[in-house]
Amino acid sequence: DARVTQTPRHKVTEMGQEVTMRCQPILGHNTVFWYRQTMMQGLELLAYFRNRAPLDDSGMPKDRFSAEMPDATLATLKIQPSEPRDSAVYFCASGQGSVGQPQHFGDGTRLSIL
């Protein structure tokens, strides 16, 4: 089965450091989503792309977060500078970009900011 691959699986770093999370979507999927899961908010959409173009990043704190798709096989989510409140699990998902088509999730990056 094709899978979405996320790296790293775990990241622990100190406040103020830059964090980069990577995602390899499923080949042939044209839509990529970044979610953040916290105990309080559940799964929140941060940003998503279609055909590598950003469609919506309204869920993302733009002063410190940035999301890009340098090519069709790589999506990145960066936090600079990182803060303790950014500690969460970050999921990437990919899909075919049409209503009703299920998104396929990676196993997430567990981020801890000390």
Partner 1 sequence: DQQVKQNSPSLSVQEGRISILNCDYTNSMFDYFLWYKKYPAEGPTFLISISSIKDKNEDGRFTVFLNKSAKHLSLHIVPSQPGDSAVYFCAASAEWRSQGNLIFGKGTKLSVKP
Write down the least CB distance from residue 102 to partner 1, Å. Answer: 4
Query: Do 65 and 79 meet the contact criterion of CB atoms below 8 Å apart?
Result: yes
Residue 55 in contact with partner 1, rule: CB under 8 A: yes
Between 15 and 43, whose beta carbon lies closer to partner 1?
A: 43
56 binds partner 1 (CB under 8 A): yes
Tokens found for residue 32: 């990529």
Nearest distance in Å: CB 16, partner 1: 27
Report cis status (omega within 30 of 0) of the bond before 84: no
Helix (H, G, I), strand (E, B) or coil at 57: coil
CB of 75 to partner 1, least distance (A): 14
Closer to partner 1 at the Cβ: 14 or 56? 56
Q: Is the peptide bond before 102 cis (omega within 30 degrees of 0)?
A: no
